[in-house]
Amino acid sequence: MLLRHGPAVATPANLTYMRSMHAPSTPPIISVSGLSKTYATGFSALKSVDLAIKRGEIFALLGPNGAGKTTLISIICGLVRPSTGTVTADGHDIQRDYRAARSAIGLVPQELTTDAFETVWATVSFSRGLFGRPKDPALIERILKDLSLWDKKDTQIRRLSGGMKRRVMIAKALSHEPRILFLDEPTAGVDVELRQDMWQMVRRLRDDGVTIILTTHYIEEAEEMADRVGVISKGEIILVEEKAELMRKLGKKQLTLQLQQPITGVPAALADFDLRLSADGEEIVYTYDTQADRTGITTLLQTLSEAGIRFRDLSTSQSSLEEIFVNLVRERA
Amino acid sequence: MSAASFNPRAIAAIYRFEMARTWRTPLQSIVSPVLSTSLYFIVFGGAIGSRMQEIDGVPYGAFIVPGLIMLSLLTQSIANASFAIYFPKFTGTIYELLSAPVAWWEAVIAYVGAAASKSILLGLIILLTATFFVPLRIEHPGMMLLFLVLTATTFSLFGFIIGIWADGFEKLQVIPLLIVTPLAFLGGSFYSISMLPPFWQTVTLFNPVVYLISGFRWSFFGLADVSLGVSLGMTLLFLAACIAIVGWIFKTGYRLKN
**What residues of A are in contact with residue B103 (Cβ under 8 Å)?**
99
- Per-residue pLDDT reduced to its tens digit, B7-45: 999 999 999 999 988 887 777 777 887 888 788 878 877
| Contact yes or no for B92 and A131 at CB 8 A | no
Burial class, B50, CB count within 10 angstroms (exposed 0-12 / middle 13-18 / buried 19+):
exposed
Q: What DSSP string describes B91-155?
A: HSTHHHHHHSS--HHHHHHHHHHHHHHHHHHHHHHHHHHHTTTS----S-HHHHHHHHHHHHHHH
Instruction: Please indicate, yes or no, whether residues A147 and A288 belong to a single structural domain of this protein.
Output: no
- Read off the pLDDT of residues B165-222 as tens digits, 9 standing for 90 and up: 888 888 888 888 888 888 888 888 888 888 888 888 888 888 888 998 899 999 999 8
Average pLDDT over residues A270-274: 83
DSSP letter for A135, please.
P
Q: pLDDT tens digit string along A273-329?
A: 888 898 888 999 998 876 666 778 888 888 888 888 889 999 888 776 777 777 777
Q: Note whether A91 and A199 are same-domain residues.
A: yes
Nearest to B133 by CA among B223, B222, B54, B60: B60
Q: Report the length, in residues, of chain B.
A: 258
CATH number for the domain that contains residue A150: 3.40.50.300
Backbone angles phi, psi at B21, to 5 degrees: -65, -35
Q: Using CA coordinates, name the residue in chain A closest to B97.
A: A130
The chain B residue lying nearest A123, using CA atoms, is B17
Strands across the sheet containing A44-53? A44-53, A30-38, A84-89, A92-93
> Are residues A260 and A216 located together in one domain of the fold?
no
Q: Is the pLDDT of residue B85 over 80?
A: yes
Q: Looking at the predicted structure, is the pLDDT value of residue A12 above 60?
A: no
The whole-number average pLDDT for the span A110-122 is 87
Predicted confidence band at A65 (pLDDT cuts at 50, 70, 90)?
A: confident
Verify that A219 and A260 share a domain, yes or no.
Answer: no
Section A68-83 average pLDDT: 93
Q: How far apart are CA A249 and CA A321, in angstroms?
A: 11
Q: Which residues, listed in sequence order, are joined to residue A83 by a DSSP beta bridge? A: none
Does the residue A204 lie in any domain?
Answer: yes
pLDDT score at A219: 75
Structure-model confidence comparison of residues A55 and B48, the more confident one: A55
Is A177 part of any domain?
Answer: yes
- Give the strand order in the sheet containing A252-259: A275-277, A283-289, A252-259, A311-318
In percent, the amount of chain A with pLDDT more than 90 equals 46
- Shortest alpha-carbon distance between residue A106 and chain B (Å): 8
Q: Which residue, of A231, A248, A265, is where some domain finishes? A: A248
* HSE-CB of B244 using CA atoms within 13 angstroms: 6
In this structure, are A145 and A90 located in the same domain?
A: yes
User: How many structural domains comprise chain B?
Assistant: 1
Show which of A248, A276, A296 is a domain's final residue: A248
Same domain, A168 and A267: no
What domain range is A265 assigned to? 252-319
Q: A113 contacts in B (CB within 8 Å)?
A: 91-93, 95
Into how many domains does chain A fold? 2
Do both A177 and A238 map to the same domain? yes
Distances in Å between the alpha carbon of A222 and those of B13, B61, B180?
36, 72, 54
- For the segment B152-165, what is each residue's pLDDT rounded down to a tens digit? 999 999 999 999 88
Range of the domain at B106: 8-252
Q: Which of A40, A116, A132 sits opposite B9 (nearest CB)?
A: A132
Domain check: are A80 and A35 in the same one?
A: yes
Whether residue B5 and residue A102 make contact (CB cut-off 8 A), yes or no, is: no
Mutation site, B95, B105, B254, B257, interface A, largest A CB count within 10 A:
B95
What pLDDT was estimated at residue A330? 74
DSSP annotation of A68 = S
Same domain, yes or no: A162 and A275? no
CA dist., res. A100 & res. B101, Å (int): 7
In this complex, the residue of A77, A97, A115 whose CB is nearest that of residue B3 is A97
- A158 with A276, same domain: the answer is no
Residues of A in contact with B2 (CB under 8 A): 100
Within this chain, do residues A133 and A267 fall inside the same structural domain, yes or no? no
Nearest Cα to Cα of residue A254 among A297, A311, A224, A298:
A297
Record the pTM: 0.80
Tell me the C-alpha to C-alpha distance, in Å, between residue B82 and each of A257, A272, B66, B151, B176.
Answer: 70, 74, 24, 15, 10
pLDDT at B153: 95
Question: Which strand (E) or helix (H) includes residue A287?
Answer: strand A283-289
- What sign does the CA torsion over A130, A131, A132, A136 have? negative
Separation of alpha carbons B250 and B231, rounded Å: 29
B257 falls within a domain = no
Does some domain include residue A83?
A: yes
Residue to substitute from A38, A81, A131, interface B, most B β-carbons within 10 A = A131
Which of A218, A248, A278 is the last residue before a domain boundary? Answer: A248
